[in-house]
Amino acid sequence: MTETRVATPDVVLAIKKEEVVGAINDLQAEGGLEHAQARIAAVAIEQLEGDQAIAAQRAIVDGADPFLLELLLRGSVSEPIRTAHHQGPASLEGEARWWWLTLASRSWDEASVENATVLDKLQHLWKSLAWLARATDEEMHDAAQAELHKILATPYKSETVAGVELVRVYRSDRGFAAAYWDASDPQAYACVELDDGVRLLASAKDPLEERGFESTGWKVKAPQFWVWVPPSE
């Protein structure tokens, strides 16, 4: 009797990775990739995962952020910084918020630098780590305070959203932090509109329905987090 073996998802994934790496090597052999390019791509597929993959992606592609800076400074990522990386910093409080703000003050600002190269981002990373290693508590506090002021100055428009009037609508992924952290006028909820028209609606604590929002047309991801996707043309 012939034995039938069923490939597990891990085996299938390993096979697909081998096929991709093989295609990269073939492309290099044909002159379509330089050796360094092929090596980077192959290592990323074969060896990088989890925090190491995020670190490489930030260092080379998107530039330094609080996640990468803390990982390099301390050898690991704290739970507050990890939460901020995946969900945004709006929920951070106390010392965790100030530490994130300090790291954010030395993060790469992609919007301010056009046509930046990988070398530009690596040089910025080196300078940021050097500053964090030598900065005094007072310098760190001043940097965090300046970063907070920058976030609070994020522009917004007040609109009716899901049946509720005068909701702050931001065009920045830091909009929720700007709304929740505004000590002079703290907001219990806010909306962020992405470049593709998708809207994210979130509440700092209470379920959105308890705040009077109507879920019709929204995808309820969680009681405090809804998503609206514009209809396709």
Tokens of residue 207, six digits? 């379920």
pLDDT digits (tens, 9 = 90+) for 181-224: 999 999 999 999 999 999 999 999 899 999 999 999 999 999 99
Half-sphere exposure of 54 (CA within 13 A, CB side): 15
Q: Say what the pLDDT of residue 153 is.
A: 96
Q: Say what the pLDDT of residue 7 is.
A: 59
| Helices 94-105 and 66-74: angle between axes, nearest 10 degrees | 100
Q: Say what the pLDDT of residue 94 is.
A: 96
- 4: confidence class by pLDDT, cuts 50, 70, 90: very low
Q: Say what the pLDDT of residue 5 is.
A: 47
Tokens of residue 231, six digits? 């209809």
Most confident of 10-14, 87-91, 96-100: 96-100
Q: Decide: 75 and 69 in contact? Cβ < 8 Å.
A: no
Helix (H, G, I), strand (E, B) or coil at 11: helix
Q: At residue 17, what is the residue type? A: K
pLDDT digits (tens, 9 = 90+) for 45-68: 777 788 888 898 889 888 999 999
Q: Say what the pLDDT of residue 1 is.
A: 44
**Smallest Cα–Cα separation from 193: which of 177, 169, 176?**
169
C-beta atoms surrounding 161 within 10 Å: 23
Positive or negative torsion for Cα 136, 138, 139, 145: positive
Whole-structure pTM value: 0.81
